[in-house]
């Protein structure tokens, strides 16, 4: 019976564990040796892109949790015709590859984008912000919101409305109910959705690639080191560190949210 | 009064978010069918760009479909038995292995691709073959198949079913094919749809793993976005949507709460989230 596991385990060992080990060795084989693994904090330009990456990821996470929980609770609590179709439609983006997400941002805020056209028509000049960190943020939001909304909707479904009625009958106002009843109930879902937002935003490559190669986030730096500078050791060290960081964020969130989210994270 | 303005504010935000998510898709579809997007709709609608994309890039589309199907086949062979073994073992080691299996999702695709190149990039027959991309896709999709089968296996009383079959004289292979597999049909189906969708859209790894002769659909998309006019990029995206949206809708249809597929533990219908794992854009 345990033999049924062998093919998958063998595949995984040969094509993931072994290559990752190799990547780790390659990372220490460059001009700077094992110090390459420290470069992310000791080298000024790498460190600044690490900060930029974390900054965008953090803002994306906070924004999508805030917006996603309001919209998620609203969509779960109100019934209207076409609700199911609407939810189906707005959850499509979470299966889009990063390049397509980047293109959606270009359609919205690029040179020929909607916002640029509107601002020109209103006489406000051409407004273009797709090809920058703001564009990247919009892209991550575009990708993360659907998942956050879905997660919040699923968690809201499990909230007991009786608790809110009880709070209301005891004289609690809407903000009180949100703070003391709804938010604690959604907490595990929010932690797990937030961790996924953060982790995906740290490691995202396709979106930044489509928007601009000049955006100074870690995945773009790794890509540039690998292709343009042919500095394979540094690319390996940086991507190993990036992978470890992403994994840590997910693992921390899972232990913070308790085992109930294990299946959802 | 306050309650009402709160409702209106929530409604406005919800509408805004829906517009933010839906409008770019519509714009892109429209741009792919417009003669000249800069001039606008007045320039007329056309299939010209779609036809041009088909002529220039249909090979990437066929390659992506082929890789996705191959990826599904490998997933069925590796993933379904693995899920069964993990469910039956159900101990610390099984959970540790499951954790390990999810690593390729948690680790950015860029890192996985570099690792594969570092380990096997020197083997040029493999490096230049579509199989190299397939390996990356299998790593990335396997956890989805395993988890979606595990989710179903966790909700049925497998032991009793198997014992019943065994007591009637069914051998292991008979039990696996005639008892276990039919019972996790729904999980396999959901997993299969997910595998196809993810494989067809995978970019982060594929961008590093591909060669000029093994371009996939998302790689072609990135090319088109970078170097061709907006209408062509849009038309290409339109073709991508046409391939991927039916799969997603089928997945959502499967995930819909129905009378018979209820969560065994709570008795409540399963939630409607379809993709539970992070997918790096």
ipTM for the whole complex: 0.87
Cα A259 to chain centroid distance, Å, stands at 21
Fold category of B55-255 in CATH:
MetI-like fold (1.10.3720)
Question: Which of A180, A124, A136, A26 lies closest to B116, judged by CA?
Answer: A26
Confidence of residue B130 (pLDDT cuts 50, 70, 90): very high
Using a CB-CB distance cutoff of 8 angstroms, which residues of chain A are in contact with residue B118? 19, 22-23, 26, 232, 236
pLDDT of residue B68: 94
How do the domains of chain B map onto residue ranges? Answer: 55-255
pLDDT of residue A265: 31
Q: Do B13 and A74 touch (CB under 8 A)?
A: yes
Confidence of residue B258 (pLDDT cuts 50, 70, 90): low
Just give the CATH number of A39-261: 1.10.3720.10
pLDDT of residue B98: 85
- The region of weakest confidence among A83-87, A169-173, A253-257 is A253-257
**Searching chain B, which residue's CA lies closest to the CA of residue A93?**
B21
Average pLDDT, chain B: 84
pLDDT of residue B19: 93
Interval B77-93: pLDDT, tens: 999 999 988 888 878 88
Using a CB-CB distance cutoff of 8 angstroms, which residues of chain B are in contact with residue A263? 147, 151, 276
pLDDT of residue A213: 65
More confident residue, B240 or A126: B240
pLDDT of residue B276: 46
Of the segments B70-74, B109-113, B190-194, B238-242, which one has the largest average pLDDT value?
B70-74
Whether residue A97 lies within 8 A of chain B, CB to CB, comes out as yes
Question: Does position B103 have pLDDT exceeding 50, yes or no?
Answer: yes
Confidence of residue A258 (pLDDT cuts 50, 70, 90): low
The mean per-residue pLDDT over the stretch B18-22 comes to 93
Helix pair B2-32, A114-121: axis angle to 10 deg: 100
**Searching chain A, which residue's CA lies closest to the CA of residue B81?**
A4
Interval A180-222: pLDDT, tens: 888 888 888 898 889 888 888 888 888 988 887 678 888 889 8
Interval B133-177: pLDDT, tens: 999 999 999 999 998 898 888 888 888 888 888 888 888 888 888
pLDDT of residue B257: 62
Using a CB-CB distance cutoff of 8 angstroms, which residues of chain B are in contact with residue A98? 203-204, 280-281
**Searching chain A, which residue's CA lies closest to the CA of residue B273?**
A150
Question: Does position B280 have pLDDT exceeding 60, yes or no?
Answer: no
- d(C-alpha A81, C-alpha A150), whole Å: 19
The mean per-residue pLDDT over the stretch A120-148 comes to 87
More confident residue, B263 or A243: A243
pTM: predicted TM-score of the whole model, two decimal places: 0.86
pLDDT of residue B1: 65
């Amino acid at each position: 019976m345990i033999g049924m596991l062998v093919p998958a385990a063998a595949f995984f060992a040969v094509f993931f564990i072994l290559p990752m080990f190799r990547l780790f060795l390659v990372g220490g084989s460059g001009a700077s040796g094992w110090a390459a693994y420290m470069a992310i904090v000791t080298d000024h330009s790498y460190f600044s892109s690490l900060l930029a990456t974390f900054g965008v990821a953090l803002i994306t996470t906070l924004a999508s949790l805030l917006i996603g929980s309001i919209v998620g609770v609203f969509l779960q609590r109100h019934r209207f015709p076409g609700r199911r179709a609407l939810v189906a439609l707005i959850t499509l983006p979470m299966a889009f590859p990063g390049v397509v997400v980047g293109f959606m941002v270009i359609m919205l805020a690029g040179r020929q984008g909607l916002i640029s056209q509107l601002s020109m028509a209103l006489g406000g000049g051409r407004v273009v912000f797709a090809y920058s960190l703001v564009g990247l943020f919009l892209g991550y939001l575009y990708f993360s919101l659907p998942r956050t909304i879905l997660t919040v909707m699923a968690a809201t479904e499990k909230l007991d409305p009786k608790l809110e009625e009880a709070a209301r009958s005891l004289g609690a106002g809407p903000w009180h109910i949100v703070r003391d009843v709804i938010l604690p109930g959604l907490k595990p879902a929010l932690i797990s959705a937030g961790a996924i937002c953060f982790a995906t935003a740290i490691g995202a490559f396709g979106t930044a690639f489509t928007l601009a190669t000049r955006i100074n986030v870690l995945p773009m730096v790794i890509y540039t080191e690998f292709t343009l500078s042919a500095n394979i050791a540094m690319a390996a060290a940086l991507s190993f560190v990036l992978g470890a960081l992403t994994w840590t964020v997910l693992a921390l969130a899972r232990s913070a949210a308790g085992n109930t989210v294990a299946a959802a994270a | 009064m306050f309650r009402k303005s709160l409702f209106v504010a929530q409604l406005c935000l919800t509408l805004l978010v829906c517009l933010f998510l839906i409008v770019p898709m519509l714009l892109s579809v429209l741009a792919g069918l417009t003669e000249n997007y800069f001039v606008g709709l007045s320039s007329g609608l056309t299939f010209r760009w779609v036809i041009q994309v088909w002529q220039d890039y249909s090979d990437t589309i066929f390659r992506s479909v082929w890789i996705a199907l191959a990826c599904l086949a490998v997933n069925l062979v590796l993933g379904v038995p693995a899920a069964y073994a993990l469910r039956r073992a159900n101990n610390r080691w099984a959970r540790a292995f499951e954790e390990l299996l999810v690593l390729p999702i948690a680790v950015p695709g860029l890192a996985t691709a570099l690792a594969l190149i570092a380990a096997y990039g020197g083997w040029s027959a493999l490096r230049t073959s579509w199989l190299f991309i397939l390996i990356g896709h299998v790593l990335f999709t396997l956890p989805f198949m395993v988890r979606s089968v595990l989710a179903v296996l966790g909700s049925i009383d497998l032991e009793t079913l198997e014992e019943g079959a065994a007591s009637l004289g069914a051998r292991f292979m008979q039990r696996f094919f005639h008892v276990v597999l039919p019972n996790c049909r729904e999980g396999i189906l959901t997993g299969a749809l997910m595998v196809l969708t993810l494989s067809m859209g995978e970019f982060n790894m594929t961008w590093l793993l591909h060669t000029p002769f093994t371009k996939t659909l998302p790689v072609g998309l990135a090319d088109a976005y970078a170097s061709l006019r907006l209408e062509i990029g849009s038309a290409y995206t339109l073709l991508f949507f046409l391939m991927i949206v039916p799969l997603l809708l089928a997945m959502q249809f499967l995930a819909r709460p129905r009378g018979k597929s209820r969560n065994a533990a709570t008795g409540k219908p399963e939630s409607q989230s379809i993709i539970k794992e992070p997918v790096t854009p």
